[in-house]
Chains A and B, each alone.
Chain A
Amino acid sequence: MTGPMTRPVLAACAVVLVLLALVPVLESNYLIDLFNEIMIYALFALSLNVIIGYSGNVSFGHAAYFAIGGYTMAILLTTYQWPLLPAFAASVAFSFVASGVVAYFCTRLTDIYFAMLTLAFSMLVWGVAFKWRSMTGGDDGFVGVDVPAFIAERVPFYYFSLVVIAIAVAVLWVICHSAFGRALLAVRENPVRAGFVGINTRLMRWWAFVVAGTFAGIAGSLFAMVHRGMYTESAFWPESATVLIMTLLGGMYSFFGPAIGAASLFLLERLTNEYTEYWPLVLGTILLVILMFLPEGLAGLAKAVRRQILRVR
């Protein structure tokens, strides 16, 4: 996680990117939509992990910034008929500002108090989306987002989404492996010691929160476009829980872990729904197994398996 990008990781990224680019070749609308959704949630989960894995705090309200990005995008594109680029830039900027304000308050606290305050703020965002009917559509949702013509079709939008997410993930990777990212790890590992080497731990945690919120906003903006709408569920707390589960399932101590978690959870859900209607039961079991046996998630499991294989050799 802290090392430079190793060759196997780089190769794996290239393979995944190529495979994702090839999805439309299958000419299945179902698969294109599924993988678009997975990519969006992968970015969402990766962004949450900046708070969880890198700064060492748990957020129960990360959906707020996903929703803020999504609603801003939907409203600017449709209600105000902004062109794509300014609308995208504004929605990212607004996610940045909103998470900055919330982070100002949340980073005064740590542990469960931090987590509860993030939850409280996300309920506030949900409340606004729910009640401000004239702007957001309230509980009917914001239906019918005007997506620019050149990406209005399914396949062009898929590629647009792929490019935006690939760039976002690359930037996020650099941030997590930068001087900032390393100092942030020190804050996670031992905030007292980090303070005593001259690191302003609160400001570090503020930035981690804002980076996370901003990238969640990007994911939300794409979500609003792919679904041609935005709904209050996206701001509600179960959404925050879902992305938290993805992060834990994939592994919070690995940069790409949460993306793996997002993909696994989606695929498992679809698969389970083919056979039974008891998805929540399966989800609960998965959660139990992670917490009891896989504290470092699937990525941690992969690491342990690789270590075993090397030892046997």
Chain B
Amino acid sequence: MLKIDGLFKQFGGFVAINDVSFELIEGEKHAIIGPNGAGKTTFFNLVTGHLLPDRGTVAFQGDDITGRPPHRIVKLGLARSFQRINIYPRMSVFENVQVALIARERREFRFFTLAAGLCGPETRALLELVSLADEAEELAGELAYGKQKQLELAIALAENPRVLLLDEPTAGMSPSETEEAIRLIREIADARGLTLLFTEHDMTVVFGIADRITVLHHGEVIASGAPEAVRSDPMVRQVYLGEEEVGNGAA
């Protein structure tokens, strides 16, 4: 569904993504893991058109989309959420989701169609889905952190994507919020038949959702496969899971 070939990106002398090739199969829930600075977010930014790769190609359903701007890639059915909160803070929760629907229906250049009544039922349904229906009229910037994450998910879903890229969907959440978020994401992905690609720090989240895992380290893929295979991969244990355990022990 999504095929990435020989992707390479450097910032100054620092190689962030080194010759990464990767394929996302329709219907799978694929996690990209790796220590901080492994290049996960850069990888996402390259795939979604936020950054231009120095070399390599990104193909979506056979179309070469390398170098296309984000607003055109989204229209093909590839939506994303962000690691840091990325919403419209001075607009209401309702409007945050509604704008995504207006854009999806290509109505953003309707100058004489009043926005007030547009896409109401669908906006409310999406807010219901992420349990934000009661906060619809609140300013998005005034929501609690966990709820802003949910809102971000609703915005991404409003684009009605076939592939959803989630950049650390539970970053900064409490354990209970995390659990709730995992349940929600899994449920939505199954119900909508979404192909999911996500980066994550939290191993419970990764093993709770993913049916395939790719491990990035220093911008290179060092392992890819089923969760169990990746978990027992000696190299992965050494560079990643090992560190994680040490980190947990210290904490």
Contacts and interface: CB of A to CB of B under 8 A. Distances in A.
Contact of B111 (A175, A194, A196): A175
A178 interface: yes
A186 B104 CA distance: 14
B114 A177 contact: yes
A3 B71 contact: no
Contacts of A211: 111
B20 interface: no
Interface residues of B, number: 39
Contacts of A253: 90
Interface in A147-184: 174-175, 177-183
B113 A183 contact: no
Nearest to A1: B90
Interface in B112-135: 112-116, 118
B91 A2 contact: yes
Nearest to A173: B114
A86 interface: no
Contacts of A280: none
A189 interface: yes
Nearest to A200: B71
B99 interface: yes
Contacts of A197: 71, 74, 79, 99-100, 103-104, 155, 158-159
Contact of B110 (A180, A194, A201): A180
B86 A4 contact: no
Nearest to B92: A2
A3 B116 contact: yes
A195 B103 CA distance: 10
A185 interface: yes
Classify the interface of chain A: helix, strand, loop or mixed: helix
Which of the four size classes fits the interface of chain A? 20 to 34
Contacts of A186: 88, 91, 95, 99
Contacts of A189: 88-91
A198 interface: yes
B71 A193 contact: no
B112 A178 contact: yes
Nearest to B119: A179
B69 A195 contact: yes
Contacts of B72: 198
A274 B98 CA distance: 51
Contacts of B111: 174-175, 178, 180, 211
Contact of A177 (B75, B104, B116): B116
B112 A198 contact: no
Interface in B200-232: none
A190 interface: yes
B108 A199 contact: yes
A35 interface: no
B115 A182 contact: yes
A179 B87 contact: no
A198 B159 contact: yes
Nearest to B107: A179
Contact of A183 (B48, B86, B89, B103): B103
Nearest to A4: B116
Contacts of A199: 71, 99, 103, 108
Nearest to B89: A189
Nearest to A197: B100
Nearest to B101: A197
Contacts of B110: 178-180
A179 B88 contact: no
Interface of B: 48, 50, 69-72, 74-75, 79-80, 82, 86-92, 95, 98-100, 102-104, 107-116, 118, 155, 158-159
Given A197-B74, A197-B100, 4 more contacts: A179-B108, A193-B88, A197-B159, A200-B71
Please name the 10 residue pairs, one residue from A and one from B, whose CB atoms are nearest each other, closest first: A189-B88, A183-B108, A182-B115, A4-B116, A197-B100, A198-B74, A179-B110, A198-B103, A186-B99, A195-B70
19 contacts: A3-B116, A174-B111, A175-B112, A177-B114, A179-B115, A182-B115, A186-B91, A189-B88, A190-B87, A190-B89, A193-B87, A195-B69, A196-B79, A197-B79, A197-B158, A198-B103, A199-B71, A200-B108, A201-B71
